[in-house]
Amino acid sequence: MSNSLRLSGLAGTIFAAVLVSGVSPAWSGGDFDPPPPVEPEPPKERKTFGLSGELTVEFQNDNNIDSDDPDNELSDFYNTTELAAELTINHFLSGHTSLTFEPVLDPDPGDDRFFEDQGLYAEELYAQVAIGGGVSVIGGKFNPAFGKAWDVTPGVYGTDFAEDYEITEQLGFGVAVERETAALGTATVTGSIYHADTSALSRSVFTDRGRTQVSDGGAGNTEDLDSFSIALDLEEIPSLGGASLNFAYRHHAQGKTNGDLDDENGYVAGIYGARQMNGVELQYVGEVVYLDGAEGTLDDLWYYTVGGALVFGGKYNVAISYTGRPRDVFGAEDFEDKQLQISAGVELRNGWALDGAYKYHVEENVDNHTVGFLLAKSFEFDTRNR
């Protein structure tokens, strides 16, 4: 065999080896440069024992300047402070609480109120165990999942009506399974079984709102674990431009008083998200809720919420939202509540934000006009791994 054939065969062998190994040779001035060594990724830091959370402070003034009912015309100046905290014990066990300081009583008809009737209570207090594989279990006092508009609708008054169907202050257990998927983004399925909190935790301090009793009535107020909810949340779906979807069903068992006439069955479907366009962020939300046997009555109740906000210049925002709340009343005349709100705001120094707003709201055929402002700031903290 000639030397040229031997060299050709050797070159072919080297070339084939390079192909098989998946290494691409690089030449610089005719010299072979080996690929740089691959640096191993540093291990991800795992949070251990410590306290973390967020403190939100709000000062708000609502002025009902015109109403068909003169008793509604009043000024209400109040503070809402919320502390959401997590105590991480280890990689598996953690404790959670949500403490709320706000007015816990309704204002007297026609009387202005200035930082009155403020009370502090535990909205949530539960333990969580992370089993692994995206599965976690909780037990204690918590807020079962149902809908999102009560949290994400933009504007000072955007969440007012939707907060009616938020499920809060329940005693029971829940399980959540979370998965990351290429097609559906982050998918979370949550199941909860519970009843209304009638323990001493239902009271408040500074101003006592009283302890919840079974005799107070209401769907789900049974002291038995006979109410439940199932929710599916799909967050930042790639095929929908990063939009998020939420669906849920709830069953609240009939209360144990003569005023409770039926179980309540609720259904919700919603979409929300944000898009960037030429330096402007568009935030949006749409949600529909149907309650059959609303609040343990024989009525049917609907909620239709749509809202949007524009955030520009890094600190300015304008928001508009609308919620319709038609009610089919059993044995009486039906009516439709509605609310339209418009607000605008700016982020001030040191993280404070100031928003002013107007809302037109109709409740049980009574027209109202309200103007107000909101001054708010959030503080985050994390002592884990320090």
Residue that wins the pLDDT comparison between 32 and 207: 207
Q: What is the DSSP string of 135-156?
A: EEEEEEEE-----SHHHH--ST
Which stretch of 41-55, 189-203, 227-241, 322-336 has the lowest confidence by average pLDDT? Answer: 41-55
AA letter at 327: R
CB 42 within 8 A of CB 348: no
Nearest of 302, 307, 297, 295 to residue 325 by alpha carbon: 302
Over 70: is that where the pLDDT of 46 sits?
no
Domain that holds residue 296: 52-382
Domain contains 44:
no
Q: Quote the CA–CA distance of 183 and 233 in Å, as a whole number.
A: 14
Q: Quick one: tokens of 47?
A: 């949070």
Domain contains 4:
no
pLDDT at 161: 98
Read off the pLDDT of each residue in 340-361 and give the average, rounded to a whole number.
97
Which stretch of 21-25, 88-92, 205-209, 301-305 has the lowest confidence by average pLDDT? Answer: 21-25
Domain contains 6:
no
Domain contains 41:
no
Domain contains 251:
yes
User: What CATH number should be reported for the domain holding residue 89?
Assistant: 2.40.160.10
pLDDT at 30: 39
Collapsing DSSP to helix, strand or coil, 72 comes out as helix
Nearest of 8, 34, 10 to residue 21 by alpha carbon: 34
Domain contains 78:
yes
Question: What is the per-residue pLDDT across 278-321, written as a single tens digit (0 to 9) for each?
Answer: 999 999 999 999 999 999 999 999 999 999 999 999 899 999 99
Dihedral sign from CA coordinates of 256, 148, 384, 52? negative
Over 60: is that where the pLDDT of 211 sits?
yes
Read off the pLDDT of each residue in 8-31 and give the average, rounded to a whole number.
36
Read off the pLDDT of each residue in 135-164 and give the average, rounded to a whole number.
98
Number of folded domains that form the chain? 1
Domain contains 116:
yes
pLDDT at 386: 65
Domain contains 42:
no
CB 338 within 8 A of CB 324: yes
pLDDT at 241: 93
Percent of the chain with pLDDT over 70: 88
